[in-house]
Every structure is written in structure tokens, then in C-alpha cells.
Structure 1
């Protein structure tokens, strides 16, 4: 099942039976109008003790906003009081489902993954797998306290600056309450929104922070602008930069996910981040060469060829990978571990999604083999021995997939 390559908006039927849609809202009706507002008393009594990530959208910090961690009850109190700080506070990346699971609850206590994005088999006791979701399945296998299921909550005027979803993944976002405005940039025109015009290095260039600050709003020609109503769900394709503004007080539930359809996108995005890291710390490379000189670390053998790998090169690659993991959230080792895990899990008795919701083996092989061959031409293939072993295991599985066809 291949998901749309353009943004798509689904109606309220996807989420109208969610407990959150019933319990988190207060609907006030009169003879002529109906208004909806958040039920802060319910949210405070059920989740107020949860510590959440809070972005202060009035205080910019580099390419993001100042972030703190606070109990949700304190944030709600600030919103209810209507104080100046509260107007800019936006609860983001709140792992509510995981926190409930820690307390003996489950995701279904407040929502369930819409069927269009959901597989039939559970990954574990709590989490119903998506349609062939490689990211969350792998994340939960490493750490049951880490996933890509998020709750967002913030008043009118709070917003998320222009960005591309983590690793270039897909995402979907369902509005429980409030209206949002989305600016979605097709990949073919993203170059128009680089922060600095002109040529740039091999890494992904820095993007504009806030599209509303463009002096020439005609520059938005070709950008998809959507006003998302309460109850609607939007699906964002891989690679689409987007910015989101809350037009009213909004609560949304969001997922990021990925699969073999976009594994090349994710690989390329990771390499772009790697290039950016190399550029940012390039000043240490001459120092490493000067300090370690021609000291040999080991010899790499590939068939009949043999090549010496030097200590400065090992230290350089290791340092780049450490910074890459801090910058992008993962490094090459984690990426290839994700690929191997999801190739292996397809052969297990409880795969993350049933066969009819996963691509055929020959399709998966056609997506994975090219990036394996590309990686084998990179220097990291020779230097990172543990990752090389992971890639070789993945290659063996993919070749076996082809042979079984």
C-alpha cells in the first residue's frame, strides 16, 4: 500500500470515536451558534502531573524556540490565567501514549491509530503497528520509552516554524480542537525558501524560519496552504517542508512514520545532515592529521584489494558520527540497524503489519539494494566495522528475498 505523494485532508470520520474527541472538549451551543473550547479541568486532573516539553514561541533560540520541561498543570494554569508568557507556550512532542503506558494505561484510552495508517498486528502489548512503520517499530525495540507518537497543545498564535519532518518521514496530524493553517512546500520548489540564496555545499541548506516574514508574499506561489478544521486529519508526504500556525487554541495528535517506500529519502537526508556536520567541524580535521600522522589503525580487505586505514581517519569518522547523532537524532549505525531490524522482523511470527499491508519482497529489495551499493562506495563502509557487519546481514536478507521470488 503506497500512501499519497501529495498532502491530503481526511474528514472527522477518522477520529470521531476517539475518547479524546469526546473528553478533551467542551461544546457550548445556543440557538444560533456552537463553540468548542478545551476542557482544561479534565486535562489537568488526568494529565496535569505529566512533565511535558514546552516551546516558548515568543523566544527564538537559533532555528527553534526556547524549550523547557514543566508539569502540564503549570502550563494549563498559565493559559487559564491569560498571562503574557502563557500566550506563547506551546506543548510539543509530548509522549502522552508512552507516559500512560508507564502508568498501566494504553494509547486506546484516548485515541487509536486511524485504520488507513494502521496494521492489524500489535507490536507489543500497547502499540498497534502502522502500515509497515519502520521507525516506531525499531524505536520501541530499542527503548520502550521512545517512539514517534506525539500530542501538541497550544493557544492561538503559537506555531511550528518551517521544517521537514524527522528524517524526512511521513506524518499525519489530527485536530482534536481548534483550526490550524498549514503551509506545505512541494520538494520541487523548496530551493526558493533557502535562508541564503546562491550555491551551497553538499549538505541540506538552512531554510527560512517563518514564511510569514517574507517581504514578497508572491514568493509563496506554488505553496499549498490548507486551513485544517477541528476533527480533520492531514497527511504530509515525505520530504515536504511545512510550517503550521494555530489559529485558535489547538490540540492535535501526530505521528511520524516511515517504510521501504521512502527509505532512499531517509538515507539521502541522513547523508545531507552528515555533510553539514562535516562542514561545521572541518577545522578539527587538520589537527587530527597533525596529531596522529601516518599511524595505521587497521587494514581493510575487500576481495583481493587491501587498504590501510589510518588512526586520524577512524577518529574523524567516529567524531562525525557522534555529532551527527546529536544533530539529526541518529547516525549511520542506527539507520542501518533500523533497516536490518525491519528486514528481519518480516520473517518473525508477529510481523508489524500483515502481508497485504506490506510491499512485495521484490519491491523492498529494489528499494534497499541501491542504497547498500551506494554505501559500499563510501569511506564509512571501510572505517565503521560494526556498521559494515550490519549492512552485510541486511544485504544477505535482501538477496535471499530476490532468490525466493
Structure 2
């Protein structure tokens, strides 16, 4: 107990003293209650602060995790990695939302640049492939040109020398006869021989010009009906052989192609014309024109077969060499037709090869690229019959014309 004494003054005159006591136990008890309440409040405040900090941290981590995941995905090579937010977050204007939008813009720019880079890389690869293909084609053309020039030199020095020498010799002989006796009889006899020699020379030069035209012409592709073209060629060959019988020609169904008719026509004309010529001495000549069954590849394969004298398989490649003739003594010609065929088919993007057997016949196969769209469906059977394109009617018509 604490005791306190204080004087009592009235008009500045002490009239007595006041004595009172204060219990310290009550004070201590009140002080302890206050301190306990303060401590409790402090603990509650700290708990609330920690809870707010944890909540804010969780919320921040939840919002920043998509950004971290997107950054890791982009670093790993996933160009489609983006920061995904809800609509509320996307409309937010805080720093994290701004950072996410900037990141997505950066990822879009990176993806666009990478796509452009890949496109340029693909273009460069395609250009390199195209350049290599053109180099191979030009190299093959140059090799063929060199080979053709060598053959041409031999032909000029050998084949043309004979007719030109004959013309010169006959002309000299006729001129000398006219100078000696002014006798035109010998000159008149020499003129037909000179004309024949000149015609032979002209025919050979025309063959050389045809071979040169095929090699120099540009390719202009269009949709071509091989069926109709074959029928026209057969008709042309029939009209060019007045008084001569035509062999039986069987034309099977032929698919349409996307190609240059100006190059395909001379190729078919030479193949079918050769078949007609070489099978002409066979007792029952038969020629077949057709196409192999479509195997789903990128090319159509056509063929022209005959039952003529044929050839040795070892000489198959020589057939396409200019001025090389395997049956020079039996059949007329200059040995240029198959060279024209190979050059034309090669320019059209295909290839040609030959198979044969002596005394059995020859078969020539060539390929042409398929059109980009499915345009190979030919006309109906009734339409082909009406146009004269069905295989049996074609053969019958040719025999009738012959």
C-alpha cells in the first residue's frame, strides 16, 4: 500500500492534512490487463500482416507463373508459347499485365521473323535445287550437243559427201559432153540422177533442221488429247502413202496430258511412222499404240509396238544416236527420227527407252508428267466411237483407207 499526505489550505491557511493510500496491487493488475490486451492486439496485427504478405505472394506467383512458363517455352524453341490471362487480367493496367503484353508482342515478332527465315531458307533450298537441276539439264544438253556435233561432222563428211559428189560428177560429165559434141542426150540422162541426188541431200538437211528446231524450241504446255493426236497422225500417214497398204494399227485408250503439242506431235509421228515403215515387210504387220496401267506415280507411260525386224538389245541405246541406222541396207532414212523423239520427250520432262528382239519386233516406251489436276479422264466410249478414236474402229478405218 502506498501512503500520500497533502495539506489542506483555506485562504492560504492550513487547517489540516489529507492522508490517502493507493493500493499497488490494483495498479499492477490494471497494468497487466492493459499490456496483455496490447500484446494480443500486436499478435493479431502481425498475424494479419503475415497473412496479407502470404496472400499477396501467392497471388503474385499465380500471375507471374504464366509469364515464367511462356519464357521457358520460348527459350526451349516453342514459338507458340504465350502468356495466357483471363479477360479481367488482360484488361488490367498494372505492371505485370503490361509486362505480359510486351512479352506476347515480342513472341509474336520472334515467331514472325522465324517464319520469314524458314520461308527464305525454303526458297533458297528450292532455288538451289532448281539451279542444280538446270545445271544437270544444261550439262546433259551440252553433252548431247557435243555428241550431235561430232555425229553431224561425220554425217556431213560421209553421208552428204556422197550425194554432193554424185551431183558434181554428173554435172561435170554432162558439161563435158555438151562441150565435146554439143550432144544433149547425155545431159538429159544425167539430169534425173542429179535431181535424185539433190532430193536426197535436201531430205537429209531437212532432218538436220528438224532436229535443231526440237532442241531450240521453248515448251508451252496445254491440255492435249493424246487419243485425238494419235488418230490424226495415223490419218496423216495414211494420206502420205497413196497406193500402199497400211498395217493394222490398234490404238488403246490413251490418257490426256498437260504438255506441249508442238513437241509431242513430231515425237509420236516419228515413232508411229517408224513402226509403219519397219513393219511394212512383215506378212501380217500389226502396230499397237497404248499406255501402261496407271500405277499412281507422277508419270504416264505410253508405248508404240510393232512386229517388224526388231533389233539386238545391246544396240538399244544406239537407236537414239543421230545418223545411226541399224537397218541401213533394208530401209530408207537418215537415222535422225529417234533422235528427234528423244530430244522432244526429254524437253517435255519425260524419258524414252526401247526394247526389242531380232525377228520379233520393237517396243518404244516414253513417259510424260501427269497434269497437276486430274484431267486424265477421257471422253466416253460412245464419244470416242463417234470421233473415230476407239481402238478397233481406228484399225478398221486405216485398213479401209489403205
The structure with the greater share of residues assigned to strand is: 1
Asked if TM exceeds 0.5, the reply is: no
Q: Which entry has the higher C-alpha Rg, 1 or 2?
A: 2
TM-score w.r.t. the length of structure 2 is 0.21
- Using the size of structure 1 for normalisation, the TM-score is 0.21
Specify which structure has the bigger relative contact order, considering alpha-carbon pairs within 8 angstroms and separated by 6 or more residues.
1
Structure with the higher helix share, 1 or 2: 2
